[in-house]
Amino acid sequence: MDKASAAEKAGIAAGDVLVTINGNEINDVLDYRFWLADRDVILGLTRGGIPFTARIRGDGFDDIGLEFDTPLMDKKRCCANKCIFCFIDQNPPGMRETIYFKDDDSRLSFLHGNYITLTNIFDKDVERIIRMHISPVRVSVHTTDPELRYEMMKNKRAGKVLSYLDRFAEAGLELNCQIVLCRGINDGPALDRTMRDLLKYTPQLTGVSIVPAGLTSHREGLYPLTGFSAEEAAKVIGQVNSLGEKCKQKLGSRMFFCSDEGYLLAGLPIPDEDYDEAYAQIENGVGMLRSFESDFRAELAFLEPGEIKLPRKVSVATGAAAYGMISRLCRELDIPGLEINVYKIINYFYGETVTVSGLLTGQDIAAQLEGKDLGDELLIPANALRAEDEVFLDDMSIKELETRLGVKITPSGEDGGNFLLNLTGQL
């Protein structure tokens, strides 16, 4: 519990158990945050099994200082699906246990932006979401064909729970959706149907991202999926954008957006900022590269070369997907005395078809950069690390990588501005 917090001042101590707020039962973090929003709250608690109450007055504070055993105040809900494209199933053996946990938890969706399939919620959960008016609801739709959705997710509820979309829309909740596209499964005519079916939810539908399924080299015994060729990816983009243009004219929004990964796969240029419509789907990789570049250029406008400690030699490790953009931006940063080397790290851990920086491992970076003159500092993608302890997916720590490469290592790239400041040694 936070010292000097409202909770401590009200006499609440470590070990107390929260039972109710203003008479409403508290089961998890959603109940807690919803009922805590009242300006005057009476907490029902127990201490050593003995009930007592504490009253807290305020201005509808977001936080009164209570801390709980788990962030959800409950156990995470494990995914009940066996999706044919599930990335977790494609992890190699021998990784830490948490890597293999599949969540499909609506509470994490509202707290952290995770997408849910709806198969793990029931009528009572839907009623609570509507009552609390929690919005947007982020849904992994994949297909609106009930039978095909079952075939893709191997869950008998997969088709039935699509009706929850109707209930959410009727209640005025926003719907933010995604489609993980599998070659020969939910593409082509099936994709046309899904997009057109989803349009009935406007204006509650805020947008739909279309992302190619991520396939690793560890698919032994799994459904025989294959990736899209450049020509096939370009065809998907044309299909999505064709409907998107019509939506733009009629609704003022494209509604359907292909991810940056799809454009890279097709060998097509990333669309401009107008296409991304204020980056509404950026969490699904739509406009991520364009946003990074825009932030870089915005920070560049304020750069004072005279403030940079020169000479400086810095290296950058990045995934194959961002390599072209990162290399181009670094070449444009033409400052005498500043030397930048950009290295494309091939993902041998997951397979060469996995190109995003967030899935790079310490062992791949180490193996491909050992023996190279990395200069004063090596920048690595911040999103490749587990935030709480700066460890890669393969459990290698930054300190281990520093020892192996003999260079200072800095996580970077939360955004383009941050990256520029790291390049120039000002952050």
Structure confidence by residue, pLDDT tens digits, 16-58: 999 999 999 988 888 888 888 887 889 999 999 999 999 988 6
Report, as an integer, the average pLDDT of 236-243: 98
Please, how many CA atoms are within 13 Å of residue 203, restricted to the half-sphere of its CB? 4
The residue from 242, 262, 285 where one domain ends is: 285
Categorize the per-residue pLDDT at 73 as very low, low, confident or very high, splitting at 50, 70 and 90: confident
Longest Cα–Cα distance of the chain, Å, equals 71
pLDDT at 278 over 90: no
Asked if residue 73 is part of any domain, the answer here is no
Residue 385's pLDDT is what?
A: 94
The residue from 254, 285, 316 where one domain ends is: 285
Categorize the per-residue pLDDT at 2 as very low, low, confident or very high, splitting at 50, 70 and 90: low
Which residue, among 355, 210, 359, has the nearest Cα to 286 in the 3D structure?
A: 210
Asked if residue 184 and residue 218 are part of one domain, the reply reads yes
Categorize the per-residue pLDDT at 178 as very low, low, confident or very high, splitting at 50, 70 and 90: very high
Q: State the Cα–Cα distance between residues 208 and 195, nearest whole angstrom.
A: 8
Asked if residue 77 is part of any domain, the answer here is no
pLDDT at 108 over 80: no
pLDDT at 106 over 80: no
Residue 414's pLDDT is what?
A: 85
Q: What is the CATH number of the domain that holds 37?
A: 2.30.42.10
With 0-12 / 13-18 / 19 or more C-beta atoms within 10 angstroms meaning exposed / middle / buried, residue 215 is buried
Asked if residue 269 and residue 159 are part of one domain, the reply reads yes
Q: What is the CATH number of the domain that holds 209?
A: 3.20.20
Asked if residue 93 and residue 201 are part of one domain, the reply reads yes
Residue 8's pLDDT is what?
A: 86
Asked if residue 362 and residue 213 are part of one domain, the reply reads no
Using DSSP, state whether 40 is helix, strand or coil: strand
Q: Average per-residue pLDDT in the chain? A: 92
Higher pLDDT, 307 or 247: 247
pLDDT at 110 over 90: no
Q: What is the CATH number of the domain that holds 386?
A: 3.40.50
Asked if residue 111 is part of any domain, the answer here is yes
Residue 130: phi and psi, rounded to 5, are -70, -45
pLDDT at 72 over 80: no
Asked if residue 116 and residue 248 are part of one domain, the reply reads yes
Find tokens 């995934």 and name the residue: 319
User: In angstroms, what CA-CA distances link 366 with 22, 265, 320, 411?
Assistant: 55, 26, 16, 15
Asked if residue 255 and residue 128 are part of one domain, the reply reads yes
Residue 324: phi and psi, rounded to 5, are -60, -45
Asked if residue 231 and residue 170 are part of one domain, the reply reads yes
Report the run of H or E that residue 262 belongs to, with start and end.
helix 260-266
Which residue, among 257, 261, 263, 239, has the nearest Cα to 188 in the 3D structure?
A: 239
Q: State the Cα–Cα distance between residues 158 and 146, nearest whole angstrom.
A: 7
Tens of pLDDT, residues 328-384:
999 999 899 999 999 999 999 999 999 999 999 999 999 999 999 999 999 999 999
Which residue, among 358, 265, 257, has the nearest Cα to 317 in the 3D structure?
A: 358
Asked if residue 101 and residue 42 are part of one domain, the reply reads no
With 0-12 / 13-18 / 19 or more C-beta atoms within 10 angstroms meaning exposed / middle / buried, residue 154 is middle
Share of the chain above pLDDT 70, in %: 96
Tens of pLDDT, residues 378-417:
999 999 998 777 899 999 999 999 999 999 999 998 899 9
Categorize the per-residue pLDDT at 121 as very low, low, confident or very high, splitting at 50, 70 and 90: very high
Asked if residue 246 is part of any domain, the answer here is yes
Residue 34's pLDDT is what?
A: 86
pLDDT at 198 over 60: yes
Q: What is the CA radius of gyration of the chain?
A: 24
Q: What is the pTM of this model?
A: 0.88
Asked if residue 299 and residue 281 are part of one domain, the reply reads no
Asked if residue 68 is part of any domain, the answer here is no
Residue 99's pLDDT is what?
A: 85
Report, as an integer, the average pLDDT of 204-220: 96
Residue 189's pLDDT is what?
A: 98
Q: State the Cα–Cα distance between residues 159 and 28, nearest whole angstrom.
A: 28
Asked if residue 150 and residue 21 are part of one domain, the reply reads no
Which residue, among 381, 296, 371, 287, has the nearest Cα to 331 in the 3D structure?
A: 296
The residue from 57, 72, 100 where one domain ends is: 57
Asked if residue 415 and residue 301 are part of one domain, the reply reads yes
Asked if residue 109 and residue 243 are part of one domain, the reply reads yes
Residue 59's pLDDT is what?
A: 62
Asked if residue 181 is part of any domain, the answer here is yes
Asked if residue 386 is part of any domain, the answer here is yes
Asked if residue 382 is part of any domain, the answer here is yes
Q: Which domain does 37 fall in, by range?
A: 6-57
pLDDT at 61 over 60: no
Tens of pLDDT, residues 316-331:
999 999 999 999 999 9
Number of domains in the chain: 3
Report how many helices (DSSP H) and strands (DSSP E) the chain contains, helices first: 15, 12
Tokens matching residue 276? 């991304």
